[in-house]
């Protein structure tokens, strides 16, 4: 295997693993949300899951630059510009992310260290806490059957639960290997920081809804910068998801929350529609 072929294989595995991980995270998030798995006594389990969601997206963002191709370079430049619009701390956050004023080799080194060392260490701790809480409180069941009669099914963590999860991991690894082998990701053109950004540059699909929202927002809304309002809106939505156990107090009593269900449904529709528009709308200069 040549160096180019090895790089192609690594790029393919990395790309498909990121996409599958984020996709699985979204499926798990919304399935748990609509089943009100955040209700007592699992509030801390939900909070740790929310942290894992943010860390998963951080994996996707930091790993996107690592191929150092044209698409990754300019998408990272755009992505690191977004925190810069935050008042007071914005310029500091942008410089902190980039390791300087511009996206350079220092940014690549910084993102690589975060991607392969810092984030995995944090995820290991939070994931261990999450799994411990799942084992402590048990798997959440739908409210319609949780209060039913009959003996609850209990599965010992080792070896039963462990072996079942091991089979799942091996199947996921086989799917990942097949996708990387038969549908390899392109290495792309090497980034040139002195060239202008290509027209129609787009992020990965899991950031597309946010990216398209910021594109569609006007420059100023009621005298406030449009991008800033968009970022604040994303922050509010994320915060509402994380603190849902404390907002939906009726869930602990087994009462269905129409407002929470509508919020989740609207969030899915919004994300799908904006992602679709991001891929279908003609790029502008």
- Give the global pTM: 0.86
Confidence tier at 151 by pLDDT (50, 70, 90)? low
Q: Coil, strand, or helix at residue 220?
A: strand
Q: Coil, strand, or helix at residue 202?
A: coil
How far is the C-alpha of 224 from the C-alpha of 230, rounded, in Å? 11
pLDDT of residue 50: 93
Pure H helices in 65-118: 70-81, 90-98, 105-113
CA distances from 64 to 55, 115, 166, 279 (A): 14, 10, 28, 18
Fold type of domain 3-143+155-190+197-280: Cytochrome Bc1 Complex; Chain C (1.20.810)
24-33, 129-138, 230-239: segment of lowest average pLDDT: 129-138
In tens, the pLDDT along 246-271 reads 888 777 677 777 888 999 999 999 99
CA distances from 12 to 15, 184, 192, 251 (A): 5, 5, 22, 42
Tell me the domain boundaries of the chain.
3-143+155-190+197-280
How far is the C-alpha of 191 from the C-alpha of 104, rounded, in Å? 10
pLDDT of residue 283: 62
């Amino acid at each position: 295997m040549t160096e180019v072929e090895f790089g192609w294989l690594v790029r393919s595995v990395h790309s498909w693993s990121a996409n599958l991980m984020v996709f699985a995270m979204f499926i798990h998030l919304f399935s748990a949300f609509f089943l009100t798995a955040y209700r007592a006594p699992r509030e801390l389990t939900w909070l740790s899951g929310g942290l894992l969601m943010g860390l998963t997206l951080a994996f996707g963002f930091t790993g996107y630059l690592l191929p150092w191709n044209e698409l990754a370079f300019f998408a990272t430049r755009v992505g690191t510009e977004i925190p810069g619009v935050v008042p007071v701390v914005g310029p500091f956050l942008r410089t902190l992310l980039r390791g300087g004023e511009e996206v350079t080799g220092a940014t690549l080194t910084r993102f690589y260290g975060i991607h392969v060392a810092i984030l995995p260490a944090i995820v290991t701790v939070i994931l261990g806490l999450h799994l411990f809480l799942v084992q402590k409180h048990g798997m959440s069941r739908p409210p319609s059957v949780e209060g039913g009669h009959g003996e609850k099914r209990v599965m010992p963590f080792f070896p039963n639960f462990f072996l079942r999860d091991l089979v799942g991991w091996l199947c996921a690894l086989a799917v990942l290997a097949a996708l990387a082998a038969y549908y390899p990701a392109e290495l792309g053109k090497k980034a040139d920081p002195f060239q202008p950004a290509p027209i129609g540059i787009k992020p990965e699909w899991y950031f597309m809804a946010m990216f398209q929202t910021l594109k569609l927002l006007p420059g100023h809304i009621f005298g406030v910068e449009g991008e800033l309002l968009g970022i604040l809106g994303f922050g509010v939505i994320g915060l509402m998801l994380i603190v849902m156990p404390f907002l939906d107090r009726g869930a602990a009593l087994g009462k269905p929350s129409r407002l929470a269900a509508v919020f989740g449904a609207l969030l899915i529709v919004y994300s799908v529609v904006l992602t679709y528009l991001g891929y279908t709308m003609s790029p502008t200069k």
